[in-house]
Structure 1
Amino acid sequence: MGNTTATTAPGTRPPVTIFGPDFPFAFDDWIAHPAGLGQLPAARMGEEVAIVGAGMAGMVAAYELMKLGLKPVVYEASKMGGRLRSQIFEGTQATVAELGGMRFPVSGTAFYHYVNQLGLQTRPFPNPLTAASGSTVIDLEGETHYAQSLADLPAVFREVAEAWAQALEDDARFSDMQHAIRTRDVPTLKRLWNTLVPLWDDRTFYDFIASSKAFSKLSFRHREIFGQVGFGTGGWDSDFPNSMLEILRVVLTNCDDEQRLIVGGADQVPHGLWRHAPTQITHWPVGTTLQSLHAGATRAGVAAIARATDGRLAVTDCWGDTRHYSAVLTTCQSWLLTTQIAVEESLFSQKMWMALDRTRYMQSSKTFVMVDRPFWKDKDPETGRDVMSMTLTDRLTRGTYLFDNGPGQPAVICLSYAWMGDALKMLPQSPEKRVKLALQALKKIYPKVDIASHIIGDPICVSWEADPYFLGAFKGALPGHYRYNQRMYAHFMQEAFPSEQKGLFIAGDDVSWTPAWVEGAVQTSLNAVWGIVHHLGGQTHASNPGPGDVFATLGPMALPD
């Protein structure tokens, strides 16, 4: 691929996208190319391949493999959509609680390829200090600040924001890196990023902050504010123990900026791919969908994967039915390959097992209620301010988000969105207790507002670490985990593998370099599509090389063991 340039209108600056930095391959260009993703031998047409998991990664792979002429067989143990889980409040048609992914940065261009293809509507997510939220309240140590922009906050908050921006510039060459991403200058991007990898793999996010010149000039209070409030999507302290590389990827690719929600629910994307009939399709009749190939329903969850005597992979579902496949893609969280699915040990190398088992998941909890109307837009007669705002606090709720669904529709409040230790405080509590705890905390911030009087219906809650099919919300790599991530990400390149390890592929955001962002699920899924096509004797078109074709040149650097 060499050096590619993003397509933009004349006179405009190219956008920041999730292009690298570890593997600067233009996935958005690859999937949009008129030549398609490749071609399979005629003898493979209609052959079944197994897809374990019907989340975003599984559905993208199944959809693209179907277009190439294969017959994906999708297995799902829980709910289609995975962590794109939109639960509709009882009695409504489209009033949803987004229990998993709910805000999608526009830099995730491969993901938006499918959003746009399905014709789904999006709108700005009501993040703190954005026009979509209207107003923001920051409540720390009992002091409450109302703001519509950063300029409305006390000077200390601006000092924190400026220090963060300066630290990124001083210690990560932020502007140079983003320019390379904008212009898709591959040589420059790889040179800059490969310099940072060995410097920051072994060091935490907190180390980056505490050791930076920009923050060292300031007080501990400034670092504390940054941890509690952050800038962009909210507080950062839950990520303080993570490898700084994890955070650099997020900010360099604008994952925490210009985020949108999907009207009617994010799960419409995987469900839409299940039902969508592509206009360009090989082997299958026009009008074929994943749903029609499955006679309307996915197969049950997978219980075991082993090498069969015929050399293929034997997949056994939870009811004991066993089928053989030349290729299998697992898209579930990696811990499930030892806790929920009996995977024959020889199918992965011991180094891969180490990487899969060392994946570290972060906890996350959300508590939603439906309310009769967006009452928070009412004005306080004394101050003229909104009676309630998007709220960031050091109290139990941490983040409170407000969703206006339009005239004549019930509104939704995410009373609490918390991670790690704050999420664990909610883990043993019933939904009713979670709501009461959240209302008690918010009452101290909004003493004049009777939130409970507006609640209708039952609350909807989630703790992802308590779900046996997930065991956590998303990966958060610790210092020293780069080598594990590199092994997992590069696993789709199987040509040099021993025969007993070939044919079983992995994908998902925890395999990617951007965990917690759906773009990572999409990109690793597309890597697996290339891997499966290659494994089955197919190839990409000369005019549209795929990720595996350029991996030797563009692939992530490998640190020495």
Structure 2
Amino acid sequence: MTSAVPTHAAGGTDAAAPITMFGPDFPFAYDDYVKHPDGIGSIPAAAYGTRVAIIGGGLSGMLAARELLRMGLQPVVYEADQIGGRMRSVPFEGHEDVVAEMGSMRFPPSSTTLFHYLDEMGLETTPFPNPLAESTPSTVVDLKGETHFARTLADLPPVYTEVAEAWTRALEEHAELRPLQDAIRARDHVKLKEIWNDLIRRYDDETFYGFLARSSSFQSFRLREIFGQVGFGTGGWDTDYPNSILEILRVVLTAADDHHQGVVGGSQQLPVRLWERPVEGAVHWPAGTSVQSVHEGGRTHPAVAALRRTDAGGFEITDAEGRTDTFEAVVYTAQVWMLLNTINSDDRLLPIDHWTAVERTHYMGSSKVFVLVDRPFWKDMDPATGREVMSMTLTDRMSRGTYLLDQGEGKPGLICLSYTWSDDSLKLLPLDAEARMDLMLKSLAEIYPGVDIRSHVIAPPQTVTWESERAFMGAFKANLPGHYRYQERLYSHFMQDRLAPEFRGLFLAGDDVSWTAGWAEGAVTTALNAVWGVMHQFGGSTAAANPGPGDVFDEIAPLVLGD
């Protein structure tokens, strides 16, 4: 079998090589795969023009549609709302050139496959102002009524450095941080899986909080409390405390929480451009063909109301307008819970163990509140302190995380007043946009008593709570302890030769089946898995010099835990 990744000898790690989201569960070099001059695969000419249903018009669905069209198939996209999914960039009334990122808003450079498509679609990125990031002018940490201003970690009281060092020690002593990252840098999938699979066996039943509490460096409750409320990278971690520690380790090991970039003009541009722009090098289709152009009227089909298998081995889809169509293959990228409630689903769609995995999927909730202001006034200097009047803010008050987003010279300023998760998000659920803004302004007034943010607001606030969105029911999947087996089933579903023939033809993709939920890289890579699966179903193959994820699956497959 041709190896998908180079194997390096022990001790041969290049310390200058970047950390990428290479594994650890399935260490396949998707970034190299999509850049290869031989392409990611082809199908027999007899299959050209065959229609494949794509359920969900988010990043994963748009990417799958585009790559299937490139192979010569005809994607048929069903979308309940708008193209983009949780890449939702909402303009402000009267200021359409400024957008609030209601879902995905920051992307780590370690997401190298995602950045391939950002580059291909001609999108620019800019550093995102996370707390204490190099691109962030200043950060304010406000806990238990005490406010601290900082430009670097060293400016905060010593206890914060103690927390940061405790986290690093916990990772090094109990999670093999450095050997794993060395293996990721070297793309040594043998060593990576050897270490990671041992961690799966040790920690599948462990919560994030339990991992901290059992480490020698976090014996102090005070340190665990501060880490939960403030943390490092993107902010506090306490809303993740009940989740599996494996979920957190995947983020940390692959640098998914570091050096974030935002998309200039809004992240929703990526799925929209994947939909609208002609697909270069597409076989079968005339030059200039796009995913949009193969849809009647240039529009997606409406929401899926029913999804069933036919006796002939295909699929029957009925949309919200009552139209029924049949397909030989379906790529499903929407939230998997929709198969349990909003879509009338045939029990024969999945094997029973996969249905159990769908039912056990656990979602993290999230809310955001944005306001548009007349200018980036937070850059004004307070003559009494010599500091900016406002900073990127982390607090234990209701606002939790506040981000100041400079739109450029001569443009209005944008403030994410609040970015909250899980229980903190639910506290906002009953409130409308104005009430949420009022609550956050009250919270921030306690931290910045001399700053009248409200006087600068020039448009109605924009807000979202993802758990109340009918087509989402949460921001992203987050496994609980003991859920590894469910995740392995869903992720590996694209390898359908392992399934009984009556369960083939439906391919799961998107955030819910990704190992790195909440990060767009997972939506991209699972889409590529599904594309490989559809290609394989129609008798296609990859080039010998560029094997796909299914070609090398047995070599690097996720660990299968026993009873």
Counterpart check, 1:350 vs 2:352? yes
The corresponding residue for 1:79 is 82
The corresponding residue for 1:243 is 244
Counterpart check, 1:59 vs 2:62? yes
Distance across 2 between alignment mates of 1:132 and 1:256: 15
The one-character-per-residue Cα deviations of 1:500-536 (angstroms, maximum 9, x if unpaired) are 2110111011101001111111111100000011111
Distance across 1 between alignment mates of 2:561 and 2:15: 38
Q: CA deviation at 1:498?
A: 1.8
The corresponding residue for 1:19 is 22
Distance across 1 between alignment mates of 2:91 and 2:472: 21
Distance across 2 between alignment mates of 1:553 and 1:141: 51
**1:97-112 alignment runs, 5 A limit:** 97-112=100-115
Distance across 1 between alignment mates of 2:442 and 2:95: 27
Give the SS at the match of 1:94: strand
**1:176-191 alignment runs, 5 A limit:** 176-191=179-194
Distance across 2 between alignment mates of 1:160 and 1:311: 57
Q: CA deviation at 1:90?
A: 1.3
Distance across 1 between alignment mates of 2:246 and 2:512: 15
**Partners of 2:306 and 2:319 within 8 A in 1:** yes
**1:422-501 alignment runs, 5 A limit:** 422-501=424-503
The corresponding residue for 1:40 is 43
The corresponding residue for 1:267 is 268
Distance across 2 between alignment mates of 1:472 and 1:552: 33
Q: Scaled by the length of structure 1, what TM-score is found?
A: 0.98
Counterpart check, 1:252 vs 2:244? no
Give the SS at the match of 2:292: helix
The one-character-per-residue Cα deviations of 1:134-159 (angstroms, maximum 9, x if unpaired) are 10000000000000000100000000
The one-character-per-residue Cα deviations of 1:88-127 (angstroms, maximum 9, x if unpaired) are 1111232010000000001011111110001111000000
Distance across 1 between alignment mates of 2:498 and 2:234: 42
Distance across 1 between alignment mates of 2:190 and 2:513: 24
Counterpart check, 1:117 vs 2:120? yes
Identity rate of aligned residues, in percent?
56
Distance across 2 between alignment mates of 1:466 and 1:500: 35
The one-character-per-residue Cα deviations of 1:335-382 (angstroms, maximum 9, x if unpaired) are 001111111001111100000011000110000000000000001111
Distance across 2 between alignment mates of 1:5 and 1:146: 46
The corresponding residue for 1:280 is 281
Q: Give 4+ residue runs of structure 1 displaced > 3 Å after superposition.
A: none
Unaligned runs of at least 5 residues, structure 2:
9-13
The corresponding residue for 1:531 is 533
Give the SS at the match of 2:247: helix
Which residue among 125, 135, 139 is the counterpart of 1:132?
135
Which letter maps to 2:140? V
**Partners of 1:396 and 1:441 within 8 A in 2:** yes
The corresponding residue for 2:11 is none
**Partners of 1:305 and 1:316 within 8 A in 2:** yes
Unaligned runs of at least 5 residues, structure 1:
none
The corresponding residue for 2:291 is 290
Distance across 2 between alignment mates of 1:278 and 1:508: 21
Give the SS at the match of 1:167: helix
Distance across 1 between alignment mates of 2:345 and 2:202: 36
Distance across 1 between alignment mates of 2:311 and 2:42: 28
Count, aligned residues: 556
Distance across 1 between alignment mates of 2:525 and 2:226: 34
The corresponding residue for 1:410 is 412
Which letter maps to 1:57? S
Q: CA deviation at 1:315?
A: 1.1
Q: CA deviation at 1:233?
A: 0.5
Q: CA deviation at 1:213?
A: 1.4
Question: Structure 2 vs 1, CA of residues 127 and 544 (structure 1 numbering), >3 Å: closer, same or farther?
Answer: same
Which letter maps to 2:256? C
Q: CA deviation at 1:291?
A: 1.1
The corresponding residue for 1:50 is 53
Question: CA RMSD for the aligned pairs?
Answer: 1.2
Distance across 2 between alignment mates of 1:85 and 1:245: 28
Q: CA deviation at 1:12?
A: 7.4
More moved, 243-252 vs 205-214: 205-214
Q: CA deviation at 1:540?
A: 1.2
**Partners of 1:3 and 1:187 within 8 A in 2:** no
Which letter maps to 1:167? A
Which letter maps to 1:318? A
Counterpart check, 1:316 vs 2:318? yes
**Partners of 2:6 and 2:187 within 8 A in 1:** yes
